[in-house]
Structure 1
């Protein structure tokens, strides 16, 4: 498994950094709460600042929650992937032992197993493209929020400047118009507040969105590497493998033919030996018959018996 290029704990590290930066941001807000209160909440002539900044923060927190959930899911996927690799290193018969059944690598294994059982050729490129398309859909909302955050800041700035222009218009109508001056200052303050909010949210969210794409790329790459090195040799039947096995079969058959030739030679030797034994037995039987005739003749002469007796 040394040839596999996988970064372990990438999603967990990104999630940890997300929590640390969020805690640091909350601490900074608590430390400078007077300034935050003065800029965003106190003496607001219109609800524009609260509404626009609230919308930006709501969109931001929604995206952060979605990304955190994806990071947690990818951390489990990484654990399942490395568990299967450990099973492969240990040569366990069941590669899915202790692997989450709903993980990406487990689904990939079952898909290839079904294709192999159905005698269907396994198209690795099609499987990889399907996985990339499926996982890219999970980033739709974070991608939308990442693109929209900076635009919401621009929108808030435009609205705030419009409010400031209304205030300036009121001031032009009357030389002394405290309300118009207040509205103009409020509009400029709202523009500053919405711009600051959008930029800070965009920087935080954009960084972790890039981290999310890195984690996703690392996971998909790991799944494809494991598929190539561990799963394809178990299921895919290639021409090279068939030829290799066929050559092995031919070599085995050649060995069997040699054994049969050796056995045939042994049988011929045994047959020759049996024939020689039979010939020897026949000659001995002839000799025994001659000896018996001589013995019979001697007995007849000794006892003076007739040939019929």
Structure 2
């Protein structure tokens, strides 16, 4: 979906360029323009008709500019809403303009989903298109009336010229009537040229406005189909796709669990082998040496079993001493 390019912005730039060019043209050709419209050759009726044509043109152009600014604002809101939808915001329309097309479409979709009603995007698109067409009534009126105003001025000016021609035929002098004929023809020419030029410019910008309107409505429908409807509708195909995605995710999780289990089994086997090797390498004498080192390191006393062993080793020596003393006493008595 191409929402970055704005036809409304480019149309506004073209209007600015046109206004600058029009101002420069008036500045450099002011004598010719003033002589064409303000000279005495154009009647007051012709000047009034030209003023009406210019007024219609400028009112229509002002309305086009206002609508283009509104379309630019609508596109900005649309872009922000799409960003919030991509970020899965809790309430994406809370900080947006509530009367915009994008927000209204978001509220409509969620209201229909809440009510459990089927979502008819074609009906919503037709409603939005009718709503936008109703806002362009003045512009369509100017577009349809502008060329008719020039035709009306031409007809009125020619009628005045014919009235002067009739007076010329009835008057022997006819100088005054000749001026009326010339004034009527000049008024018809000026009103025709004014209406054609204004209609030519206005028709171009009116078409550009329609392009901007169609682009905006298309972007709203693209946003509806890509982001809004999939988030609230549950068709058979969408459910099948979600089940398939869930199945694939479960299969991947099961494969990862099996890999983790294999790693744990391998780590357990490695740890058991290391323990067995350690038991095989450590002997009883090695354990005694470790005990001695620990005892010396912490300055511990000799264990009780070592004291008992020393006592048992000293008992035979004491008995033998007592026996020797008895033999000596017996020898003394005999003597």
**TM-score, scaled relative to structure 2:** 0.69
Match of 1:122 in 2: 119
Segment drifting more, 152-161 vs 112-121: 112-121
The aligned runs of 1:15-30 (5 Å cut-off) are: 15-30=12-27
1:45–1:21: structure 2 CA closer, same or farther, 3 Å change rule? closer
Kindly indicate whether the alpha-carbon contact (under 8 Å) linking 2:42 and 2:184 is maintained by their aligned counterparts in 1: no
Q: State the alpha-carbon separation in 1 of the partners of residues 248 and 150 from structure 2.
A: 75
1:231–1:45: structure 2 CA closer, same or farther, 3 Å change rule? closer
From 42, 51, 56, give the equivalent of 2:48.
Answer: 51
1:248–1:215: structure 2 CA closer, same or farther, 3 Å change rule? closer
1:156–1:240: structure 2 CA closer, same or farther, 3 Å change rule? same
1:73 partnered with 2:70:
yes
From 234, 238, 260, give the equivalent of 1:241.
Answer: 238
1:41–1:66: structure 2 CA closer, same or farther, 3 Å change rule? same
Kindly indicate whether the alpha-carbon contact (under 8 Å) linking 2:11 and 2:205 is maintained by their aligned counterparts in 1: yes
1:154 is displaced (CA, Å) by 0.9
1:10 partnered with 2:26:
no
Match of 2:253 in 1: none
**TM-score, scaled relative to structure 1:** 0.75
1:10 is displaced (CA, Å) by 1.5
Kindly indicate whether the alpha-carbon contact (under 8 Å) linking 1:83 and 1:98 is maintained by their aligned counterparts in 2: no
Q: State the alpha-carbon separation in 1 of the partners of residues 19 and 247 from structure 2.
A: 68
Q: State the alpha-carbon separation in 1 of the partners of residues 100 and 4 from structure 2.
A: 18
Cα deviations across residues 214-250 of structure 1 (Å, max 9, x unaligned)? Answer: 0000000000001000111111221223445567889
Match of 1:185 in 2: 182
SS at 2:135 equivalent: helix
Point out the structure with max Rg over C-alpha.
2
Kindly indicate whether the alpha-carbon contact (under 8 Å) linking 2:42 and 2:186 is maintained by their aligned counterparts in 1: no
Match of 2:164 in 1: 167
Cα deviations across residues 144-167 of structure 1 (Å, max 9, x unaligned)? Answer: 211111111111111111111111
Residue segments in structure 2 that go unaligned for 5+ positions in a row: 251-335
Q: State the alpha-carbon separation in 2 of the partners of residues 117 and 137 from structure 1.
A: 29
From 73, 77, 88, give the equivalent of 2:85.
Answer: 88
Cα deviations across residues 238-283 of structure 1 (Å, max 9, x unaligned)? Answer: 1223445567889999xxxxxxxxxxxxxxxxxxxxxxxxxxxxxx
Cα deviations across residues 31-76 of structure 1 (Å, max 9, x unaligned)? Answer: 2222222221221573111110111111111111111110010000
1:222–1:157: structure 2 CA closer, same or farther, 3 Å change rule? same
1:145 partnered with 2:154:
no
Kindly indicate whether the alpha-carbon contact (under 8 Å) linking 2:61 and 2:202 is maintained by their aligned counterparts in 1: yes
From 32, 35, 40, give the equivalent of 1:38.
Answer: 35
Residue segments in structure 1 that go unaligned for 5+ positions in a row: 254-309
Q: State the alpha-carbon separation in 2 of the partners of residues 27 and 196 from structure 1.
A: 19
1:175 is displaced (CA, Å) by 3.9
Aligned residues: 251
Question: How well do the aligned residues superpose, as a CA RMSD in angstroms?
Answer: 2.4
1:88 is displaced (CA, Å) by 3.2
Match of 2:107 in 1: 110
Match of 1:279 in 2: none
Kindly indicate whether the alpha-carbon contact (under 8 Å) linking 1:157 and 1:194 is maintained by their aligned counterparts in 2: yes
1:238–1:198: structure 2 CA closer, same or farther, 3 Å change rule? same
